[in-house]
Amino acid sequence: MSQNIVVQKYGGTSVGSPERIRQVAKRVAATRAEGKKVLVVVSAMAGETDRLLNLAHEISERPDRREIDLLLSSGERISAALVAMALHSIDCPAISVTGRQMGLLTDNSHTRARIIEIDGERVRKILKANQVVVCAGFQGVNEQGDVTTLGRGGSDTSAVALAVALKSDICEIYTDVKGVYTTDPRIVPEARKLETVSFEEMLEMSSLGAKVLQIRCVEYANRYKMPIKVRSTFDDDPGTLICEENPDMEQPLVSGVMCARGQSKITLKGVPDQPGIAAKVFCPLSDQGVSVDVIIQNVSQEGHTDISFTLPKTHLTEAMEVMERSGKEIQAAEVIADSHIAKVSIVGAGMRSHAGIAARMFDSLSREGINIMMISTSEIRISCILEEKYAELAVRVLHDEFKLGENDSEKPSQSAENNQKAM
Amino acid sequence: MSQNIVVQKYGGTSVGSPERIRQVAKRVAATRAEGKKVLVVVSAMAGETDRLLNLAHEISERPDRREIDLLLSSGERISAALVAMALHSIDCPAISVTGRQMGLLTDNSHTRARIIEIDGERVRKILKANQVVVCAGFQGVNEQGDVTTLGRGGSDTSAVALAVALKSDICEIYTDVKGVYTTDPRIVPEARKLETVSFEEMLEMSSLGAKVLQIRCVEYANRYKMPIKVRSTFDDDPGTLICEENPDMEQPLVSGVMCARGQSKITLKGVPDQPGIAAKVFCPLSDQGVSVDVIIQNVSQEGHTDISFTLPKTHLTEAMEVMERSGKEIQAAEVIADSHIAKVSIVGAGMRSHAGIAARMFDSLSREGINIMMISTSEIRISCILEEKYAELAVRVLHDEFKLGENDSEKPSQSAENNQKAM
């Protein structure tokens, strides 16, 4: 049964100034005027979270995480109060609600808390009275009643979690872009806004660095099958719907091309090919909290092999320190770092049912003389590690190859043909 | 039984920058190192409350008071988190606590809530564990769990209320001045810092506009006989102790000279001297929320009289509108406004037991040719309304007359002689 409830989440840019807050209020009031019960979730005003973090870091090198949570949660409370005021000033009844007041209970992991449950009793009462609820995003409380926050981008997760708790029909995420694009329009001006993206595709895109939605928010939405609409606060474009795959519809072969910079690579050369070597390489890294992405190990030659792996560039220095030690221990011939790499990926639910996509990807890159250093795949994603200088070219080539631009969307049947040609 | 607890409240200037917050932390840690249990109460960083209020007023002409409370309470939460971080960074264990977490329950009057009770259970536990508690001042919650605030300067009241709830020995209020002065040092450079001031004197001084302490905080301290020490955050001056009058000690005749500007006066001339006239003049004013200060009514002449009263200059325009109407109704000959007046007062607990202070005051003013327009008194205060242009001169004259400056404090016995001379 539809509850006629809409959840609308507005990001930091959308509430970045009094002028913009008034615009948000107009949109919310218009939705209410359509007969909907509206729950608004807001982020901190653009720049506010950074301002507060800077204050913290001026005072302490490693500020306590519990205090960081109290500090940062203020940003969203301020936005919530201001949006409620803006609604009042256009005669739209509204009440602001904090993390505690909405009953958003989390675990005890300050600065990256996970939601345990949302009581939502007070929120339901306000909606029932036909008033708009304006929720401070990003925050909850733990069982002791201390303020916790859900990590960067946590307001998106708050919004989806509230939508689920209230059995809302949809969770609308308002931001400063029109929706999810086939690729970064700054690299490919013809990039096309997608009408729909499946949860699985969006999960891959978010994990590859698509900033439009945090991966935790998409995971949450996927778990409860809560459709998300990503839209712009500043126009009336219908945006992109993120929802379950419709098995009756043909899925696009490739939905998007993603490019992740800030990657680096470490190679251990001439490693004795013995059982337990991989553990000796990767356990010390994970102990240091370094997250490794793609790993390849060459075929053994004369009892020796090479191991390469990628990791965020920000962790390269500490990872190299660890590797210089491990390298000696396992008698590697050499440890080499490369901080000029990028990861270019294609994502598409249609890959499941269509073969040959990988071949087309490798072929089109090789035609441009782009060397592929490493490959990693999932059911609906293929990623290639390549030299950073080729990153933009690779994105453009793949965007073209899979006809993702405006006015040239590719049909699966047609592409199946192309595949055979390309193979 | 002493609990060995000290409450220290730091104002907005004292926590106005990361540098200053570090200074506050040092002072708090030093107090703890002396073996005290320290509870810190903080205001919002200087300028923060105004910044937030400006945002509110850019969005709404008359922002909702409940939302104002959520908005403004963020300022003190930010300070509390930052001070706790600063304490951690010098290895002093500390935990921040919000209005709700300290169990500060208020009534429902948003933006000017009154404290109902302080549970303080959590605060007691933290102190018992020998950790510093850093409380966000100015805020509480009502029974619904909504954030309330105690009005401007409310952090002082929070501090005194917490000191009372915890049976602290003393409530120290740290600010940007050394203590309570005999008068405004900007008017009289020889103004002397007072070592002690009685609650009653401080109540009079605060109601006359001494900005160092809000009157509500002094009322609270007086009700529970909680001594307050006003000190500077920026030096080691012992400050001013505000406490009960010690009946064994001789009280100073006059402790301070106060000057209130921003006053105005309305005179109704030729009013028929009939019963009920005063009500017809003042009820419409109080209906408009205009607070009247001093009132005089001349002796009736030929069945007519003049009524004058003073009020804050900010209310003069609306009060005149009301008076023009009432004036006609009661057939007053004329309604005259005067916005160039000031109120100069002397306050001193010694007035109770010593006659002739008023005469000395009037005499010394008349010697300088200063005309007194109106007079109002309490047991320990005499106020004169005079032309604004004479305000500073009057303050200097009275400060001299009662020997309030550095190095010339007056003994009551000696003054009794002077009185007789002056009479």
CA–CA gap between residue B112 and residue B152 (Å, rounded): 8
pLDDT at B409: 54
CA–CA gap between residue A339 and residue A207 (Å, rounded): 20
Q: Closest Cα partner for B185 from B262, B261, B263, B259?
A: B259
Domain B265-332, CATH 2.40.37.10 — does that match? no
3-state secondary structure A167-189: CCCEEEEEECCCCCECCCCCCCC
pLDDT at B412: 44
Q: Which residues from chain A sit within 8 angstroms of residue B70, using beta carbons?
A: 77, 80-81, 96, 98
For residues B68 and B110, is the Cβ–Cβ distance under 8 A?
Answer: yes
Question: What's the alpha-carbon Rg for chain A, to the nearest Å?
Answer: 24
| Mean of pLDDT values over B191-205 | 95
Task: Record the tokens describing residue B133, joined without a space.
Answer: 């508690």
Helices and strands counted in chain A (H then E): 12, 18
Q: Is B142 on the interface with A (CB under 8 A)?
A: no
Integer CA distances (angstroms), B362 to A107, A234, A354, B297, B368, in order: 70, 68, 102, 20, 10
CA–CA gap between residue A137 and residue B67 (Å, rounded): 16
For residues B311 and B319, is the Cβ–Cβ distance under 8 A?
Answer: yes
pLDDT at B248: 73
pLDDT tens track for B283-296: 999 988 888 999 98
Give B285: exposed, middle or buried? Use CB within 10 Å, 0-12, 13-18, 19+: buried
Residue carrying structure tokens 């954030």: B147
CA–CA gap between residue A153 and residue A174 (Å, rounded): 13
Q: Closest Cα partner for A120 from A170, A169, A162?
A: A162
Residue B278, φ and ψ in degrees, nearest 5: -60, -40
**DSSP string covering A337-365:** EEEEEEEEEEE-GGGGT---HHHHHHHHH
B67 forms bridges with which residues in the sheet? Answer: none
Report the chain B residue with the minimal C-alpha distance to residue A67. B81
Selecting from A18, A71, A73 the residue whose C-beta is nearest the C-beta of B82 gives A71
Question: Residue B29 pLDDT > 60, yes or no?
Answer: yes
pLDDT at A140: 97
pLDDT tens track for B368-417: 999 999 999 999 999 999 999 999 999 999 999 999 997 665 544 433 33
Least confident piece of the model among A75-89, B193-207, B224-238, B267-281: B267-281
CA–CA gap between residue A4 and residue A9 (Å, rounded): 16
Selecting from A64, A82, A145 the residue whose C-beta is nearest the C-beta of B56 gives A82
Instruction: Please give the sequence-ordered ranges of beta strands (E in DSSP) within A201-239, or none if there are none.
Output: 228-232
ipTM metric: 0.85
Count the alpha carbons within 13 Å of A120 in the hemisphere toward its beta carbon.
18
Instruction: Please give the sequence-ordered ranges of beta strands (E in DSSP) within B52-131, or none if there are none.
Output: 94-97, 104-106, 115-118
For residues A230 and A10, is the Cβ–Cβ distance under 8 A?
Answer: no
b/e per residue A386-405 (b: at least 16 CB within 10 A): bebebbbbbbbbbbebbbbb
Contacts of B145 (CB under 8 A, 6+ apart): A100, A101, B100
Average pLDDT over chain B, rounded to an integer: 92
pLDDT at B320: 95
pLDDT tens for chain A, residues 1 to 423: 457 999 999 999 999 999 999 999 999 999 999 999 999 999 999 999 999 999 999 999 999 999 999 999 999 999 999 999 999 999 999 999 999 999 999 999 999 999 999 999 999 999 999 999 999 999 999 999 999 999 978 999 999 999 999 999 999 999 999 999 999 999 999 999 999 999 999 999 998 878 889 889 999 999 999 999 999 999 999 999 999 988 777 778 899 999 998 899 999 999 998 888 888 899 999 988 888 999 988 888 888 999 999 999 999 999 999 999 999 999 999 999 999 999 999 999 888 888 889 999 999 999 999 999 999 999 999 999 999 999 999 999 999 999 999 766 554 443 333 333 333
pLDDT at B56: 97
For residue B91, the one-letter residue type is: D
CA distance A296 to chain B (A): 43
Q: Do B18 and A61 make contact, defined as CB atoms within 8 angstroms?
A: no
Residue carrying structure tokens 């160092």: B212
In this predicted model, which residue has the larger pLDDT, B47 or A421? B47
pLDDT tens track for B130-142: 999 999 999 999 9
CA distance B85 to chain A (A): 6
CA–CA gap between residue A381 and residue A198 (Å, rounded): 13
pLDDT tens track for B101-121: 999 999 999 999 999 999 999
Considering the four listed CATH numbers 3.30.2130.10, 3.40.30.10, 1.10.620.20, 3.90.550.10, the one that applies to the domain covering A249-423 is: 3.30.2130.10
Q: Closest Cα partner for B174 from B219, B237, B224?
A: B237
pLDDT tens track for A316-357: 999 999 999 999 999 999 999 999 999 999 999 888 888 889
Q: Which residues from chain B sit within 8 angstroms of residue A100, using beta carbons?
A: 100, 145
For residues A72 and A53, is the Cβ–Cβ distance under 8 A?
Answer: yes
Q: Is B91 on the interface with A (CB under 8 A)?
A: no
**Given pLDDT bands bounded at 50, 70 and 90, which one contains residue B419?**
very low
Return the C-alpha torsion angle A258, A264, A268, A273, nearest 10. -30
CA distance B33 to chain A (A): 21
CATH class of B342-422: alpha beta
Q: What are the CB-based long-range contacts (under 8 Å, 24+) for A191-194?
A: A191/A399, A191/A404, A191/A405, A192/A404, A192/A405, A192/A406, A192/A409, A193/A237, A193/A239, A193/A240, A194/A240, A194/A255, A194/A256
Q: Is B49 on the interface with A (CB under 8 A)?
A: no
For residues B159 and B218, is the Cβ–Cβ distance under 8 A?
Answer: no
Domain ranges of chain B: 5-176, 265-332, 342-422
CA–CA gap between residue A401 and residue A395 (Å, rounded): 10
Residue A271, φ and ψ in degrees, nearest 5: -90, 130
Residue carrying structure tokens 């675990």: A107
Q: Is B95 on the interface with A (CB under 8 A)?
A: yes
Selecting from B21, B75, B77 the residue whose C-beta is nearest the C-beta of A59 gives B21
Gap between the terminal Cα atoms of chain B:
50
CB atoms within 10 A of CB A408: 11
Domain A5-176, CATH 3.40.1160.10 — does that match? yes
Least confident piece of the model among A230-239, B74-83, B274-283: B274-283
Selecting from B58, B68, B85 the residue whose C-beta is nearest the C-beta of A60 gives B85
Q: Which residues from chain B sit within 8 angstroms of residue A88, using beta carbons?
A: 60, 63-64, 67
CA distance A134 to chain B (A): 11
Give B297: exposed, middle or buried? Use CB within 10 Å, 0-12, 13-18, 19+: middle
Q: Which residues from chain B sit within 8 angstroms of residue A73, using beta carbons?
A: 77
**Given pLDDT bands bounded at 50, 70 and 90, which one contains residue B145?**
very high
In this structure, the strands spanning A228-232 and A170-175 are: parallel
Q: Do B18 and A59 make contact, defined as CB atoms within 8 angstroms?
A: yes
Question: What's the alpha-carbon Rg for chain B, to the nearest Å?
Answer: 24
What percent of chain B lies above the pLDDT cut of 90? Answer: 82
Most confident of A250-264, B32-46, B240-254, B305-319: B32-46
For residue A27, the one-letter residue type is: R
Report the chain A residue with the minimal C-alpha distance to residue B22. A59
Interface of B with A in 187-206 (CB under 8 A): none
CA distance B154 to chain A (A): 19
For chain A, helix, strand, coil in percent to 5 are 40, 25, 35
**DSSP string covering A119-151:** --HHHHHHHHTT-EEEEETTEEE-TTS-EEE--
Task: Record the tokens describing residue A190, joined without a space.
Answer: 């013809």
Task: Record the tokens describing residue A350, joined without a space.
Answer: 């249609």
CA distance A358 to chain B (A): 52
Report the chain B residue with the minimal C-alpha distance to residue A82. B56
